[in-house]
Amino acid sequence: MRADLVSPDRLVLGESPRWDAAAGRLRWVGIEDRAVLWLDPATGKSGRTDLDTMPGTLAPYDGDRVLLATDRGFEVLDTASGRLGPVAAAEADRPDRRMNDGACDPYGRMLAGTTALSGTPEPGPLYRLETGGGAPRAVPVLDGLLVPNGLAWPEPDRLWHIDSPTRRIGLHVYPEHGPVGPLVRSIDTSDLSGDPDGMALDAEGNLWVAFWGGSAVRCLAPDGRVLETVELPVPQVTSVAFGGDALDTLWITTAARGTDPDDPAPHGALFRCDAPVRGLPAVPWAGPSA
């Protein structure tokens, strides 16, 4: 399978594509570009909101508003006005770190990890945004992660999670409340080119994983078998999402970081691919009463 170029915008670090079903739009972020971007596939219209912070990931929320995990913590962005509003700080005492990839769990609560701005992996936690029973707060639910990335829930009580430098995708017990539970099993991707980064789950329970440095998105069965490969013309593939009205389009983000600026290849662009299966919808953030 091959992916087609959609948006030639050269982002330093494109990430976190999310299909907003209510708006009929794909949204994604440029982390180091400090931007949130959107595309309406039905009309071809697109747009961009520039920020004063680095957005690591996003989740649909309400109308034009989305929830962001940024280098300050969790914030709500009104994409129509460009206004940002704080929700909960995370690691305010650590200006050397920023929030990275994340997603909402089956209960509508946002999870996101943090990573070092230096690019040198150092252990840190996965946070969950808890909004019930008082002021919203970022609560650590899994610690010791180097570069936390893709998240997916095959069942409400199970969580697939990627810690990229380990090159493993772990399946954990996921209680409705409290910390992430023990590891059930893991997929070792060390025999594949690139490091696992973002991912999406299809309706058959298989994982579609972007491989940084691997020029590919690979579909992995829960037992680790490679079922499909989407080839891309650029190496730094960052994340993938299912979208479109039927959730049968793969949207793929990439990065220009670490590439030659004079190279004409579309590093950092957005790509698409017709999927052989349907995906699962992105869970929106439930809001401050979740």
Q: Has residue 235 been placed in a domain?
A: yes
Q: Specify the 3-state DSSP secondary structure of 165.
A: helix
Q: Is residue 226 situated within a structural domain?
A: yes
- pLDDT recorded at residue 290: 52
Per-residue pLDDT at 134: 81
Residue 112 domain-assigned (yes or no): yes
- pLDDT (tens, 9 = 90+) of the chain, 290 residues, equals 999 999 878 999 999 999 999 999 999 999 999 999 999 999 999 999 999 999 999 999 999 999 999 999 999 999 999 999 999 999 878 888 899 999 999 999 999 999 888 777 788 899 999 998 788 999 999 999 999 999 999 999 999 999 999 999 999 999 999 999 999 999 999 999 999 999 999 999 999 999 999 999 999 999 999 999 999 999 999 999 999 999 999 999 999 998 998 999 999 999 999 999 999 999 999 998 65
- Number of Cβ atoms within 10 Å of the Cβ of 15: 26
Residues 129 and 111 sit within 8 Å (Cβ to Cβ): yes
Tell me whether residue 288 is in a domain.
no
For residue 284, is it within any domain? no
Tell me the C-alpha to C-alpha distance, in Å, between residue 200 and each of 7, 24, 191, 228: 20, 18, 21, 14
Q: Where are the strands (E) in 35-182, listed by range?
A: 35-39, 46-50, 55-62, 65-70, 73-78, 83-89, 97-104, 110-116, 124-130, 137-145, 148-155, 158-163, 168-173
CATH number at residue 214: 2.120.10.30
Residue 90 falls within a domain, yes or no?
yes
| Token pair 């969950």 in the structure block, residue | 128
Q: Give me the pLDDT at residue 75, please.
A: 97
Neighbouring C-beta atoms of residue 161, cutoff 10 Å? 27
Instruction: Provide the 10 A C-beta neighbour count for residue 274.
Output: 11
- Pick from 92, 63, 87, 57: which is nearest to 75 by CA? 87
Number of domains composing the chain: 1
Whether 290 is covered by a domain: the verdict is no
Domain that holds residue 90: 4-274
The residue behind tokens 């509003």 is: 85
**Residue 24 Rama label (left phi>0; alpha psi -120 to 50; beta):** left
Contact indicator for 183, 230 with CB cutoff of 8 Å: no
Q: Which of 54, 55, 56, 66 is nearest to 25 (CA)?
A: 66
Please check whether residue 281 lies inside any domain of the structure.
no
Lateral strand order in the sheet of 14-20: 14-20, 25-30, 35-39, 46-50
Sheet holding 158-163, edge to edge: 148-155, 158-163, 168-173, 183-188
| Helical spans, DSSP H, in the chain | none
